[in-house]
Structure 1
Amino acid sequence: MTIDYQALRDAAEAIKIAATPQKLLAFRMKVTPQVVLALLDERERNQQYIKSRDQENEEIALTVGKLRVEREAAKKRIAELEAEPVSQTYKLPSLPSSEVNDAAWKLHNMLTEHGPLNGRQFSNLKGCFYEALKVAMRNYPVTPDSWISCSERMPNDKQYVWCWGKSYGWTECDTFEGYYDWSRNKWWAVTDNGEEPASKVTHWMPLPEPPQEVNRG
């Protein structure tokens, strides 16, 4: 049913100004039972709509509250992980330089039958062996003592060391070869493509020393 709201308003305003019998009759003719029922139905629909919107708003508020709690918990956990020492993150034993060098030279001798490796290639080869040994011993129940906290001591200027941090483009911390440039006050990662800026470096250790003599016999 279509209700002429303006006509009802005009009739009511006319009675309010002067309630003559003619105006009262005109108002009663417009306010029929059908009009009253239609107005009540419309009011009920509006109330139901408002109630549903209130419920939706309440659910949204609860969801936002839960997300905020989860976000704060996630931020707290991230802060704990970033502050966690490397020795607690990876329970690895200290690796003697001789073991790394011996393993690297064994593979070196196999790979250089047709030509020797240069210094950088051998350094990368040692790094690969170091990573392989770490993976193999991740569950070894010994806490390492070879990592040095940057808060305790920094390496010498441009001294190549083994680092724990993030290289350019990394989303998580990991180990890599790099050095600290004192003049630029910045860490740098050494990669196959050259050098890249590094960040979040919290610990470091000296690189294994190369052997003094190679026996190819």
Structure 2
Amino acid sequence: MTWQPRLKIIGLTISCIILVAGLVVSLTAVRKPQRALPVAASYSGGAILSVSSPTSSVYTNQEFSLTVNLNTQTHKVTAAAVYLTFPSANLEVKSATIAAFLPTPLIPPQIVPGSVSFTLGSGSTPKSGTGPLVILTFKALRSQSAPVLVDFNPQTQVAGIDPTGKPISESILDAKTGATVTIKDYLPGDLNHDGKVDIFDYNPLVADFGKTGTPGFVPADIDKNGKIDIFDYNILVANFGKIQ
């Protein structure tokens, strides 16, 4: 064999080795995990997030609103990624309305059982001061003896800039406060849900008397057995005059 064919074989072998080495390096780079944005446990003097609590108790099947608020304190905020959790057996989010403080929806509200999340931006001008981010409409599903907590998930972050206008490379969230909701059942026999059992509850029971359906299909099905009968009337009479 002459030297020329041998040189071609050697050159081809070296090229294959280089190609394989390149593939190994590329695969290693692809598999390397991405580093998450550093999140400070508490950024002193940074932003504060809070959820307004209802002024009074709510009742099963009642809808009510909670507002997520942002206080930027000494900083200017460019965006907020908010994650809220709550017990899905007790509460359901019916809607989420973006307020004016951070008006740009980078990720619109995502509603699933037990949580709601959204990411909002300030637009072209960073915001300072205090204002509402989102108004959440909840429905109370089930009562319990202890208050129900609507709280921020640890993923919640706030982005901002320093006094020179330079972006800060970590979350500037200083503190976050959730809300507590006390859910009660209506008085048995309070069919119009006005907090008392009186003649105005008697009227809808008479109007629905004899009807059948799924358990609890109308308020007059007080014992929730799927029919309006003398046993519902009996409960109303027993509670007549009571005030919640």
TM over 0.5: no
Higher-helix-fraction structure = 1
RCO higher in structure (CA 8 A, sep ≥6): 2
Higher-strand-fraction structure = 2
Larger radius of gyration: 1
